[in-house]
Structure 1
Amino acid sequence: MADLSKFETEPRIQLLEELKSARCVMLGSPNSSEHMQPMAPQIDKQTIETAEQGGSSAIYFFSDNTSDLGKAVLSDPGATVMATHIGKDYQACIEGTLYPVTDDAALIERFWNPIAASWYPGGKDDPKMLMLKFVPITAGVWASTGNPLKFVYETAKANLTDTLPDVGKSKIIAA
């Protein structure tokens, strides 16, 4: 259930928290002819604390320098791409820039986990590993309480009163 008060007061922090709890987002490629693909966002407490203090935030992804996405980012670093997250009660479409990160052992160590390890047989030094840094610029976000009774009530009320149902909120934010 999305926190609608946080949606109003701290939408940027809520966005990062929602993405942190997401198993994956759909990440676009600098090559516009390629489809978006599911990628696991790497966000930690440090990322959220930086955003809470007004700093810029970045979302990291483990990728592969031989994949279509990896090759596209290496050939067009800093390209503007989209990422989307669709949760039960929270959705976001984020526009940002995507960069390759090379030779940053501390960053790999910071986000290394058993899931990442399963994709890189060579471990943290796997030659195919490529970290991607996604720097959000703006985001369209939508949130609802997820209460099914409220949804039914608002839908019925809208049909009876010729108004729109009040089932959530949306806005564009600087990410």
Structure 2
Amino acid sequence: MAEQHTEHNQREKLWELIKDVRFTMISHQTEEQEIHSQPMTMLNSEQLNERQNLYFIMKDTNDIVKAINAGHTHLGLSFAKPSDDTYISISAHGEISTDRALIDKLWNPWAENWFQGKDDPSVRVLIARAVSSEYWDVKDNKVTHLFKVLKGNVTGKPQEPDTEHEKLNL
């Protein structure tokens, strides 16, 4: 039986899984009702309210900005840390901000490559509020996992890796 988690504990677990994974694929719905995804860099840090929101800087011409401004606020965020066999999917609601204080907090040297400084009028912040999440965290070490795969190939009886898999309602 799965352990019952409070919302706080669920958000703590989610943050532990994603805090070191800076790159995510963000999916949104287009005007043509298609799902489009693009890679983005998460800008969260310990001093931000990362257990509530995930933050990304983007241009006002970005497709995600256009989608949210058109009312398509439901987003999918995918994180992967293959070195640890950890995979996370987050369902979130997005909003776009031009809050100067938030831009100041998030600004970093990477952003200088894309904008004419933090006062560039095209700077937008995507605030993604996580609603729910699902994760897969393989507990087997690489050797054990490989052994199970090879044994399954030889015996014809595949063995599942020891994986922690849970859905979190945030």
Q: Same fold (TM over 0.5)?
A: yes
CA deviation vs aligned residue, 1:93-116 (integer Å, no higher than 9, x gap):
1111010112x1111111111112
Is residue 124 of structure 1 aligned with residue 118 of structure 2? yes
- Aligned match of 1:43: 44
- Aligned match of 1:87: 81
Specify the SS of the correspondent of 1:39: strand
Question: Whose relative contact order is higher, 1 or 2, with alpha carbons under 8 Å and at least 6 apart?
Answer: 1
Specify the SS of the correspondent of 1:155: helix
Q: Which runs of 5+ in 1 are unaligned?
A: 1-9, 52-56
Deviation at 1:12, TM superposition (A): 3.0
CA distance in 2, matches of 1:91, 1:24: 12
**TM-score, normalised on structure 1?**
0.77
- Aligned match of 2:22: 23
- Aligned match of 1:106: 101
CA distance in 1, matches of 2:57, 2:145: 38
Aligned residues: 157
Counterparts of 1:128-143 in structure 2 under 5 Å?
A: 128-143=122-137
Q: Which runs of 5+ in 2 are unaligned?
A: 1-8
- Aligned match of 1:3: none
- Aligned counterpart in structure 2 of residue 151 of structure 1, from 120, 126, 145: 145
Specify the SS of the correspondent of 2:28: coil
**TM-score, normalised on structure 2?**
0.79
Deviation at 1:119, TM superposition (A): 1.1
Deviation at 1:146, TM superposition (A): 6.0
Asked if 2 retains the 8 angstrom alpha-carbon contact of 1:65 and 1:130, the reply is: yes
Larger helix share, 1 or 2: 1
- Aligned match of 1:12: 11
Partner AA of 2:147 in structure 1: Y
Identity %: 25
Deviation at 1:27, TM superposition (A): 0.6
Asked if 2 retains the 8 angstrom alpha-carbon contact of 1:28 and 1:81, the reply is: yes
CA distance in 2, matches of 1:139, 1:149: 29
Larger strand share, 1 or 2: 2
Deviation at 1:129, TM superposition (A): 0.8
**Stretches of 4+ moved more than 6 A in 1?**
none
